[in-house]
A and B are shown apart, each in its own frame.
Chain A
Amino acid sequence: MELVSIKDMPQEFKIRLLHELGYDSDGTFVLKDGQQYTDKYTGTPIKIDNMFIYPGSTIILDNNSLSISSFLEEYGDVL
């Protein structure tokens, strides 16, 4: 699985990507059904400028070591 950095991509791209996946953004946070969407491992709201988005059933996480290690432990070495 190739990792593609969205660090330097324009915010419009990130928002469009979120729309394609059924999510939204208020410009700062990722939204789902109008509510801030939280990282399943840390419980913190996910910022649009620090996302980790895995395809398939679409998993959006905050891009931090704890969340990604937890993700790899849960789903295996899929990256």
Chain B
Amino acid sequence: MSSDPEEKIIAGMTRGTLQYFEEKISSLITRFKNKDITFVEEIETANLAKEQRKKPEWELFKQYVYDYDLRILFQLGLTFRSLENQGKPIDVLKKNVKDKYGSTGLHIAYFVQNGFFQRLLASIVERERTPEALRKEISDVLRNIENVVTFITGMDSKQELELKATRIITKINANSPKTYIISSAQEKGKSGSATKKCAQVYKMVMEGISGYSVEFNKTETREIYFLNKEE
């Protein structure tokens, strides 16, 4: 044992600190066992997930879609949007979504991130007569997202635009979807270019199909064409 008074003080403080942490740890573990607390590395991640479930869009969506995976993808689409608005990176989350749900799942999340759900709902509410038909139509659109949505970017070349238009025409003529969405992709600082190209594709598509009417939506950053099958 040390006879140095300073060492004795330090040893006493260390024992005191250890005892403090020991008591704190025991207290936390007791509270955990009593189901009072949840341990998380980052509280922010849990709060972000909780916030999405309080949003009006979620409240609306959950009335119409009961599919477990679609509901998760919807919440993750809202999470994408929140992170993007906060200027936070979303690449890791995108990878997680793609790893679990593939490209289709990622596109469903993008669909929600871009605010298409409310617009889709507004578009189909006008023609579907029953809640059951509405539910079916929403689920069908999301499950067949690859066949009913095309994004046009400012980077698309003339050749790519023609190819996209041809593909959209082929999909519409082959599947006769009730709704097809052509949207300019949101690109900060480049939205003008994408919206012009989106308009070009829309015109090319309308020349190649029949029996569809258009509903046009424009926001600050994008243009969206809802092609609705006429009854």
Total contacting residues, chain B, CB less than 8 A: 36
- Inter-chain contact A64/B45, CB cutoff 8 Å: yes
Complex-state Cα separation, A53 to B28, whole angstroms: 13
- Inter-chain contact A4/B40, CB cutoff 8 Å: yes
- Inter-chain contact B42/A55, CB cutoff 8 Å: no
Which of the listed residues A42, A56, A65 has the most CB atoms from chain B within 10 Å of its own CB? A65
Give, as a whole number of angstroms, the nearest-CB distance from A69 to chain B: 5
A31 at the interface (CB under 8 A from B): no
Q: Which residue in B38, B39, B76 is a CB contact (below 8 Å) of A65? A: B76
Which of the listed residues B43, B49, B99 has the most CB atoms from chain A within 10 Å of its own CB? B49
- Inter-chain contact B25/A16, CB cutoff 8 Å: yes
Give, as a whole number of angstroms, the nearest-CB distance from B163 to chain A: 33
CB-contacts of B1-50 with A (<8 A): 21, 25, 28-29, 32-43, 45-50
B97 at the interface (CB under 8 A from A): yes
Total contacting residues, chain A, CB less than 8 A: 35
- Inter-chain contact A2/B76, CB cutoff 8 Å: no
For A2, list chain B residues within 8 Å (CB).
Answer: 36-38
For B28, list chain A residues within 8 Å (CB).
Answer: 4
The residue on A at minimum CB distance from B49 is A68
The residue on B at minimum CB distance from A66 is B96
CB-contacts of A21-79 with B (<8 A): 41-43, 49-56, 63-66, 68-70, 72-74, 77, 79
Complex-state Cα separation, A19 to B79, whole angstroms: 33
For B75, list chain A residues within 8 Å (CB).
Answer: 69, 72-73
- Inter-chain contact A68/B45, CB cutoff 8 Å: yes
For B45, list chain A residues within 8 Å (CB).
Answer: 52, 63-65, 68
- Inter-chain contact A69/B49, CB cutoff 8 Å: yes
- If the complex has contacts A42-B99, A65-B48, A65-B93, are A17 and B38 also in contact, measured as CB distance less than 8 A? no
Which of the listed residues A13, A42, A69 has the most CB atoms from chain B within 10 Å of its own CB? A69
Complex-state Cα separation, A43 to B75, whole angstroms: 20
10 smallest CB-CB distances across A and B, nearest first, come from A68-B49, A53-B39, A63-B41, A55-B35, A66-B96, A69-B75, A69-B49, A4-B37, A2-B37, A3-B43
